[in-house]
Amino acid sequence: MIETIKTYLNEQRDQHIEELMQFLRIPSISAVAEHQPDMIRCAEWTAQSLQKAGLENIEIMPTGGHPVVYADWLHAPGKPTVLVYGHYDVQPAEPLELWNTPPFEPVIQDGKLFGRGSTDDKGQLLLYAKVIEAFLRTHGSLPVNVKFCIEGEEEIASKHLPAFVEKYKDKLQADTIVLSDTQMQGPGKPALMYGLRGLAGFEITVDGANSDLHSGLFGGAVQNPIHALSKLLNSFHDEDGRVAVKGFYDRVIELSDKEREAFKQVEPDSNKVRSDLHVDTLYGEKGFSFYEQTTSRPTLEITSVSGGFQGEGIKPIIPNRASAKIACRLVAAQVPEEIMDAVEHHIRALSMPGVKVTLDRQLRGNPFITPIDEPVMVAAAEAYEDTYGAWPVYTRSGGSIPIVEVLGRVLDAPVVLLGFGLPGENLHAPNEHFHLVNWDKGTETISRFWLKLAAMRE
């Protein structure tokens, strides 16, 4: 069956790429208000494209912000249902002068399609419409049931999508969620990103006297909020770079031997990292590699600190306040609220005479993980291997894409991040492009993936 699909896609390739170029010509920049008409136009284009592919029940659904495009095809009884997530919005193109060709006038050079959105995410998203078109035109049906949830606010932090997913969780219900908005390890080297870190962000404020004090008249007899804050901030880590907050690591799922082994394939050269950053040594929790530290271990980073006179020169005061902002990156199965509870307990347990400490909880994002031995992950890996001739590497990101976790949690389904981008494709930067070899291999991988998902229920 896969050969018929490949033949069809090959015959239609020029037409399909031309359609992608149409998609890229719409400057659907979600962050900029004047592009509001383009956002509507792009949502409509997406809807029409899905309809043309053969999907049904097309809807452009309001969210309070840019709309979501919904579509489905549900005629494979007994087969799994796959929810495809993607986004039709793009990053702003500035600085324009650094583009070699205009960002919204796509061109192909050396097998690469240049244009804003080519890899993030229009190019990767359209793969799914074309796979559906191929199945329906050649076989009249899809091997699985499919739903689409395509948002227009991914580049502005998916502002309205969590509430949307909650509201329509029955409509969006699926057995697996799949999205292609990430990168491969390198040319010909597929990657399955199976973990993202969560976030707990809060601000600590230390208040001392009721006003700034003259450091000559009060220095040495009144607690200085900066001293107290330094003590507090220094207490968050031990000498081995480990977070010293009681209970911080309680829920951390340790890496399996299999994962540790898999990480060896993606571990960057730490000497190169060190020299790229111009530091004399890397520094982190002992007993873990750079890649492990930045993806599979939780961290507590002080992102800013402030206190006293911020102008030029030394104003010799004891400030009445000092504060710091902290971002904890969390890994499964840590819970942001529990982590902030633990920090609050840690603070209360410290002796801080003469000052008052308050904690203001500001950001919460759950960590995300899909276990690599989950059957859908195995199916995805096999699809990659059949297509690229290489088993994918397993990667995690130290960053956070909260919507991935929301989809998985609210819909209670494993999420597969099936990336076809390549490192260096300049997403969010000038001269964004997409290697078209991964257009072809992308459609093939997705087709094989769906066939394998269908086979799981035979």
Residue at 55: amino acid letter: L
Tokens of 118: 């080519």
Judged by CB, which is closer to a second copy: 26, or 229?
Answer: 229
Near a second copy by CB under 8 A: residue from 37, 234, 257, 271: 234
Query: Does residue 427 bind a second copy (CB under 8 A)?
Result: no
Rounded to whole angstroms, what are the CA distances from 140 to 9, 135, 143, 265? Answer: 15, 7, 10, 41
In the complex, least distance from residue 289 CB atom to a second copy, rounded to whole angstroms: 9
Give the strand order in the sheet containing 321-330: 321-330, 198-207, 356-365
Residue at 3: amino acid letter: E
Query: Does residue 249 bind a second copy (CB under 8 A)?
Result: no
Near a second copy by CB under 8 A: residue from 226, 332, 383, 436: 226
| Region near a second copy per CB under 8 A, out of 1-9, 157-165, 227-235, 259-267 | 227-235
Tokens of 138: 């050649």
| Region near a second copy per CB under 8 A, out of 6-14, 281-289, 333-341, 446-454 | 281-289
DSSP assignment string, 72-116: EE---TTS-EEEEEEE--B-----GGG-SS-TTS-EEETTEEEST
- Alpha-carbon radius of gyration of the chain: 25
Query: Does residue 294 bind a second copy (CB under 8 A)?
Result: yes
Query: Does residue 277 bind a second copy (CB under 8 A)?
Result: yes
Query: Does residue 227 bind a second copy (CB under 8 A)?
Result: yes
Query: Does residue 136 bind a second copy (CB under 8 A)?
Result: no
Cα 412 to chain centroid distance, Å, stands at: 18
CA atoms within 13 A on the CB side of 230: 6
Query: Does residue 221 bind a second copy (CB under 8 A)?
Result: yes
| Region near a second copy per CB under 8 A, out of 11-19, 91-99, 284-292, 415-423 | 284-292
| Region near a second copy per CB under 8 A, out of 72-80, 305-313, 428-436, 450-458 | 305-313
Q: x/- site string to a second copy, residues 380 to 399, per CB under 8 A?
A: -----------------xxx
In the complex, least distance from residue 68 CB atom to a second copy, rounded to whole angstroms: 26
Query: Does residue 266 bind a second copy (CB under 8 A)?
Result: no
| Region near a second copy per CB under 8 A, out of 14-22, 23-31, 120-128, 324-332 | 324-332
Q: Which of left, alpha, beta for 78 (phi over 0: left; psi -120 to 50: alpha)?
A: left
Residues between 325 and 354 that touch a second copy (CB under 8 A): 325-327, 329, 353-354
Residues between 39 and 68 that touch a second copy (CB under 8 A): none
Nearest CA-CA partner of 186 in 431, 433, 425: 425
Q: At what angle do helices 122-139 and 36-53 cross, to 10 degrees?
A: 20
Query: Could you tell me how many residues of this chain bind a second copy (CB under 8 A)?
Result: 79
Near a second copy by CB under 8 A: residue from 308, 408, 419, 421: 308
- Residue 124 to residue 421: CA distance in whole angstroms: 8
Near a second copy by CB under 8 A: residue from 318, 415, 418, 427: 318
- Residue 138 to residue 248: CA distance in whole angstroms: 54
Query: Does residue 233 bind a second copy (CB under 8 A)?
Result: yes
Query: Does residue 293 bind a second copy (CB under 8 A)?
Result: yes
Query: Does residue 305 bind a second copy (CB under 8 A)?
Result: yes
Contact between residue 20 and residue 112 where contact means Cβ atoms under 8 Å apart: no
Judged by CB, which is closer to a second copy: 92, or 398?
Answer: 398
Cα 124 to chain centroid distance, Å, stands at: 15
Near a second copy by CB under 8 A: residue from 197, 321, 441, 452: 197
Residues between 433 and 452 that touch a second copy (CB under 8 A): none
- Residue 205 to residue 250: CA distance in whole angstroms: 26
Which residues make Cβ contacts (< 8 Å) with residue 101, sequence separation at least 6?
107, 114, 115, 431
Judged by CB, which is closer to a second copy: 149, or 322?
Answer: 322
Cα 288 to chain centroid distance, Å, stands at: 23
Query: Does residue 423 bind a second copy (CB under 8 A)?
Result: no
Query: Does residue 403 bind a second copy (CB under 8 A)?
Result: no
